[in-house]
Structure 1
């Protein structure tokens, strides 16, 4: 069996969506651009803000945000289940970051990030067992 290396999101604005997820998840941050990477981007007339592929690293798998021309919002096939200790404050925090609520169920809340990708905030396993 393999292990998850990264989770890839097709999106319209990789830098903006990467910032959302870096702020939404504990311990995650945008991958730093070293001087060599900045030069490589400049050769193509790009900057970190217009980079078609932006990475976010943290304690789990890396998240990759890549621009895909003609991306269809209704064709999103990837989402994260994020386990939280106290769901409502996290729902409120993510809404402030630009997320929206799809539906609320007894043990999880289905949300969408600023570009419409689904995510679920799920109660900790101990809370669901109680």
Structure 2
């Protein structure tokens, strides 16, 4: 039986999108660059991790990793899959995510969730925690 290892985002700039999601999700961080990883990048002709075509974000033990890979094309339509986040104070969390670079999307017919786009426009839903 298979298990979930990574959630992968195609994107224009993996480093900046990885930083957004590392800040957005509790317990997540951009994977550190050790000397072996820096050497791998140099072998690809990449001198600065900011230009890394593939960036990994890791979370708590057992949580799926989030992987960002550069693609040449821009996002042009609504995502078929998106992440749902939950927060005790969804309005305050939406404000925090907007300060990180997210944008609010269309208004929703009910108040159960807030739809946002990450800095590259990938949709995410911010669910209100149910007491």
1:24 aligns with 2:28: no
1:122 is matched with: 127
Moved over 2 A (4+): 75-78
Question: Is 1:52–1:66's contact at 8 Å kept on the other side of the alignment?
Answer: yes
Residues 101, 119 of structure 2: 8 Å contact kept: yes
Gapped regions of structure 2 (runs ≥ 5): none
The alignment status of 1:9 with 2:9, answered yes or no, reads yes
Give the CA RMSD over aligned residues: 1.4
Q: Distance in 2 between matches of 1:73 and 1:115?
A: 10
Is the contact between residue 10 and residue 71 of structure 1 (CA under 8 Å) also seen in structure 2?
A: no
| Contact 2:7–2:67 (CA under 8 A) maintained in structure 1 | yes
- Residue pair 1:107, 1:123 contacting (<8 A) in 2 also: yes
- 1:1-130 matches, within 5 Å, as 1-46=1-46, 47-59=48-60, 60-74=63-77, 76-102=79-105, 103-104=107-108, 105-124=110-129, 126-127=130-131
What is the number of residues matched between the two proteins? 126
Could you tell me which runs of 5 or more consecutive residues in structure 1 were left unpaired when the two chains were aligned.
none
Distance across 2 between alignment mates of 1:110 and 1:32? 30
Please report how far the alpha carbon of residue 71 of structure 1 lies from its aligned counterpart in structure 2 after TM superposition. 3.5
Q: TM-score, normalised by structure 2?
A: 0.89
Q: Secondary structure at the match of 1:114?
A: coil
- Asked if the contact 1:73–1:117 (Cα under 8 Å) also holds between the matched residues in 2, the reply is no
**Normalising to structure 1: TM-score of the pair?**
0.90
Q: Distance in 2 between the 1:77 and 1:8 partners?
A: 13
Q: Provide the C-alpha distance between the structure 2 equivalents of 1:72 and 1:13, rounded to a whole number of angstroms.
A: 12
